[in-house]
């Protein structure tokens, strides 16, 4: 395992970025992946791992994960270039699977500064795929003209006798009723994600048609009750992003959707936590593919590497 690797110009066969803003679920996914690669006792796993010598970071985040604790923020200055040497039991071949875990702050800084720093830039150049994490619970949505009018109807055109505490409602709702200076940081999440992808496409050396992008909707346990697939959820909640994806990539060939709950639950749900503590840790992880089809974490790895 390399940390803070120096730049070189070689495109590694399976060098993938882990993209996503702060708290999007990147590191929790890696902790869960480490569990499935190294901690289970499956007699016929899809992949057999040769453990890396230096796995301090992986063990640290896995320890947090197994104890139902937040895995914590990745330090801004650290890049974790994680290489897993895998034996594919199906194809009977050895593969190196590398992923780069960085702090979500890197992406926020890139949005503001309109640049990648030198080290990160070199990682991006060498990559041939990415796992893009989107957390539905931390997204920022725009309020459009039409929504503003809907809210006016709601607030001002209620029938007489309707009691409505307007002051409290204004405090609770994010619409800025008073003119204030605009802040680029308040832009909707899907706009920032698109910008990140635009930066990515300007940087990668590989042809766009050969780049693989897994869109991973994290905290899927919070969405699952709607019985909606990850692709439909994205089209519903992030329509601008869907349009950008289908005009710049090919669905299923270049990009694919997954839903994952690597935690398995909201950690504030103590009853469910106690229930899951009595079960095999592998059962915590929920993964769905397109059409809300139940699958496992290895399908994500298999697809991104194929």
Binding site for another protein (CB under 8 A): 113-119, 121, 142-146, 148-150, 152-153, 156, 175-179, 182, 184, 186-188, 190-191, 194-195, 198-199, 202-203, 235, 239-240, 242-244, 246-248
Residues present in the chain in total: 306
Phi, psi dihedral angles at 260 (to 5 degrees): -145, 140
Q: Which is nearer to another protein, 43 or 184 (CB)?
A: 184
How far apart, in whole angstroms, are the C-alpha atoms of residue 57 and residue 83? Answer: 12
How far apart, in whole angstroms, are the C-alpha atoms of residue 145 and residue 194? Answer: 22
The bridge status of strand 79-88 relative to strand 93-102 is antiparallel
Three-class SS state of 14? coil
CB of 107 to another protein, least distance (A): 13
Q: Which is nearer to another protein, 162 or 182 (CB)?
A: 182
CB of 79 to another protein, least distance (A): 13
Q: Which contiguous run of DSSP H or E holds residue 12?
A: none
How far apart, in whole angstroms, are the C-alpha atoms of residue 21 and residue 17? Answer: 13
How far apart, in whole angstroms, are the C-alpha atoms of residue 62 and residue 235? Answer: 33
CB of 250 to another protein, least distance (A): 10
CB of 174 to another protein, least distance (A): 11
CB of 225 to another protein, least distance (A): 24
- Burial of residue 245, with CB atoms counted within 10 A of its CB: 0-12 exposed, 13-18 middle, 19 or more buried: buried
Q: Which is nearer to another protein, 109 or 272 (CB)?
A: 109
Q: Which is nearer to another protein, 98 or 110 (CB)?
A: 110
CB atoms within 10 A of CB 292: 18
Q: Are 101 and 79 in contact (CB under 8 A)?
A: yes
Q: Which is nearer to another protein, 9 or 306 (CB)?
A: 9
CB of 296 to another protein, least distance (A): 31
CB of 230 to another protein, least distance (A): 17
Q: Which is nearer to another protein, 50 or 243 (CB)?
A: 243
Q: Which is nearer to another protein, 202 or 283 (CB)?
A: 202
How far apart, in whole angstroms, are the C-alpha atoms of residue 107 and residue 116? Answer: 8
Q: Which contiguous run of DSSP H or E holds residue 3?
A: strand 2-3
């Amino acid at each position: 395992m390399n940390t803070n690797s120096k730049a070189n110009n070689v495109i590694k066969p399976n060098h993938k970025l882990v993209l996503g803003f702060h708290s999007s679920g990147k590191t929790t996914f890696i902790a869960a992946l480490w569990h499935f690669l190294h901690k289970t006792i499956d007699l016929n796993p899809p992949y057999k791992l040769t453990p890396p010598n230096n796995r301090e970071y992986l063990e640290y985040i896995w320890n947090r994960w197994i104890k139902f604790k937040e895995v914590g923020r990745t330090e801004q200055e650290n890049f974790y270039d994680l290489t897993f040497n895998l034996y594919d039991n199906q194809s009977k071949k050895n593969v190196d699977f590398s992923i780069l875990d960085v702090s979500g702050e890197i992406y926020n800084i890139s949005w503001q500064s309109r640049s990648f720093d030198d080290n990160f830039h070199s990682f991006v150049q060498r990559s041939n795929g990415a796992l893009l994490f989107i957390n539905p619970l931390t997204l920022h949505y725009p309020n459009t003209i039409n929504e503003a009018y809907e809210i006016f109807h709601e607030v001002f055109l209620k029938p007489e006798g309707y009691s409505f505490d307007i002051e409290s409602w204004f405090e609770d709702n994010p619409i800025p009723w008073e003119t204030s200076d605009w802040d680029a940081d308040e832009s909707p999440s899907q706009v920032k994600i698109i910008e990140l992808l635009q930066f990515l496409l300007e940087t990668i050396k590989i042809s766009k048609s050969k780049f693989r992008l897994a869109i991973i909707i994290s905290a899927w346990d919070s969405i699952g009750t709607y019985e909606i697939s990850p692709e439909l959820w994205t089209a519903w909640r992030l329509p601008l992003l869907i349009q950008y994806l289908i005009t710049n990539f090919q669905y299923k060939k270049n990009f694919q959707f997954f839903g994952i709950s690597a935690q398995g639950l909201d950690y504030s749900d103590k009853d469910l936590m106690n229930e899951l503590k009595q079960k095999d840790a592998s059962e915590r992880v929920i993964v769905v593919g397109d059409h809300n089809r139940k699958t496992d974490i290895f399908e994500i790895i298999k697809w991104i590497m194929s």
